[in-house]
Structure 1
Amino acid sequence: MKSSFFLLSFLLFFLVFCSGVEAVTWDTGQFLFDYRSDVYYQDVFGNEKRSFLKEGTHYLQELTGDLTQETVSGKVNFNAYFNLRSSDDPQHQIDERDVMFVQGYVRLYDDAYELQGGDYAEDYTSYTLGASLLGVRAHLKPVDGVKVYALWGRNRDEELDRYVRNTFGGRVELSYRGLSLGATFVHNDVVRSSLKDDSPVGDEFNQVFGGDLKLSLFEDRFELQAEYARSIYNEDERDETIEDEYDDAYFVKVQMRPFKGLALGAEFERVEPLFNTVMGSASPDMQRVKGEVELTPWDFLNVTLLHEYSFDKLTDDSVADYRTHTHMTSAGLTLTPFYRREDYWNSLTLNLQGNFSDYYSSGNVDQEDLSISGTISQSFTHWNYSIGYAFSRNWNHLDRSSEYESHSPSVSLGINYQWLSLQWNWSFNFGYEHRKALLYDYTDRIYRADGALTLDYSETQSTLALSVGVEHCDNSPYLGTADNTRWSFALNFDQVIKRSDKFTATVTLSSSYSDYDEDSPDADYGEAVHSLSLKLNF
Structure 2
Amino acid sequence: MKRSFFSLSFLLFFLVFCSGVEAVTWDTGQFLFDYRSDVYYQDIFGNEERSFLKEGTHYLQELTGDLTQEIVSGKVNFNAYFNLRSSDDPQHQIDERDVMFVQGYVRLYDDAYELQGGDYAEDYTSYTLGASLLGVRAHLKPVDGVKVYALWGRNRDEELDRYVRNTFGGRVELSYRGLSLGATFVHNDVVRSSLKDDSPVGDEFNQVFGGDLRLSLFEDRFELQAEYARSIYNEDERDETIEDEYDDAYFVKVQMRPFKGLALGAEFERVEPLFNTVMGSASPDMQRVKGEVELTPWDFLNVTLLHEYSFDKLTDDSVADYRTHTHMTSAGLTLTPCYRREDYWNSLTLNLQGNFSDYYSSGNVDQEDLSISGTISQSFTHWNYSIGYAFSRNWNHLDRSSEYESHSPSVSLGINYQWLSLQWNWSFNFGYEHRKALLYDYTDRIYRADGALTLDYSETQSTLALSVGVEHCDNSPYLGTADNTRWSFALNFDQVIKRSDKFTATVTLS
SS of 1:49's equivalent in the other structure is: helix
Deviates more, 1:55-64 or 1:308-317: 55-64
SS of 2:238's equivalent in the other structure is: coil
Give the whole-Å Cα distance in 2 for the aligned partners of 1:3 and 1:81: 58
Q: 1:118 to 1:6 in 2, by over 3 A?
A: farther
CA contact (8 A) 1:8 1:61 kept: no
List per-residue Cα deviations over 1:195-242 (Å, max 9, x = no partner): 111111111110000000000000000000000000000111111111
Shift of 1:8: 35
Q: 1:388 to 1:73 in 2, by over 3 A?
A: same
CA contact (8 A) 1:23 1:503 kept: no
Q: 1:7 to 1:160 in 2, by over 3 A?
A: farther
List per-residue Cα deviations over 1:365-385 (Å, max 9, x = no partner): 111100000000001111111
SS of 2:8's equivalent in the other structure is: helix
Shift of 1:35: 3.1
Shift of 1:88: 2.1
| Percent identical | 98
RMSD across aligned positions (CA): 6.7
* Counterpart check, 1:402 vs 2:402: yes
Give the whole-Å Cα distance in 2 for the aligned partners of 1:10 and 1:402: 37
Deviates more, 1:450-459 or 1:274-283: 450-459
Q: Which runs of 5+ in 1 are unaligned?
A: 509-537
Give the whole-Å Cα distance in 2 for the aligned partners of 1:380 and 1:493: 28
Shift of 1:319: 0.8
SS of 1:241's equivalent in the other structure is: coil
SS of 1:6's equivalent in the other structure is: strand
SS of 1:135's equivalent in the other structure is: strand
Shift of 1:488: 1.5
Shift of 1:450: 1.2
When the two structures are superposed, what TM-score results if normalisation uses the length of structure 1?
0.88
SS of 1:11's equivalent in the other structure is: strand
Deviates more, 1:315-324 or 1:482-491: 482-491
Shift of 1:7: 39
List per-residue Cα deviations over 1:174-215 (Å, max 9, x = no partner): 000000000000000001111111111111110000000000
Q: 1:83 to 1:254 in 2, by over 3 A?
A: same
List per-residue Cα deviations over 1:113-172 (Å, max 9, x = no partner): 111111111110000001110011111111111111100000000011111100000000
Shift of 1:102: 1.4
SS of 1:74's equivalent in the other structure is: coil
List per-residue Cα deviations over 1:95-116 (Å, max 9, x = no partner): 2211111111122222111111
Shift of 1:15: 22
Shift of 1:463: 2.0
Give the whole-Å Cα distance in 2 for the aligned partners of 1:301 and 1:335: 5
Give the whole-Å Cα distance in 2 for the aligned partners of 1:81 and 1:6: 50
Q: 1:345 to 1:428 in 2, by over 3 A?
A: same
Q: 1:41 to 1:298 in 2, by over 3 A?
A: same
Give the whole-Å Cα distance in 2 for the aligned partners of 1:164 and 1:435: 49
Deviates more, 1:347-356 or 1:466-475: 466-475
Shift of 1:25: 2.4
Q: Which runs of 5+ in 2 are unaligned?
A: none
CA contact (8 A) 2:408 2:431 kept: yes
Give the whole-Å Cα distance in 2 for the aligned partners of 1:467 and 1:14: 18
SS of 1:283's equivalent in the other structure is: coil
List per-residue Cα deviations over 1:436-461 (Å, max 9, x = no partner): 11111111111111111122222232
Give the whole-Å Cα distance in 2 for the aligned partners of 1:14 and 1:356: 48
Q: 1:175 to 1:5 in 2, by over 3 A?
A: farther
Shift of 1:47: 4.6
Shift of 1:14: 26
Q: 1:3 to 1:324 in 2, by over 3 A?
A: closer
List per-residue Cα deviations over 1:475-530 (Å, max 9, x = no partner): 2245543222221122222233333344444333xxxxxxxxxxxxxxxxxxxxxx
Deviates more, 1:62-71 or 1:107-116: 62-71
Deviates more, 1:333-342 or 1:85-94: 85-94
Shift of 1:403: 0.8
Q: 1:303 to 1:493 in 2, by over 3 A?
A: same
CA contact (8 A) 1:371 1:392 kept: yes
Q: How many residues align?
A: 509
Give the whole-Å Cα distance in 1 for the aligned partners of 2:10 and 2:414: 45
CA contact (8 A) 1:133 1:154 kept: yes
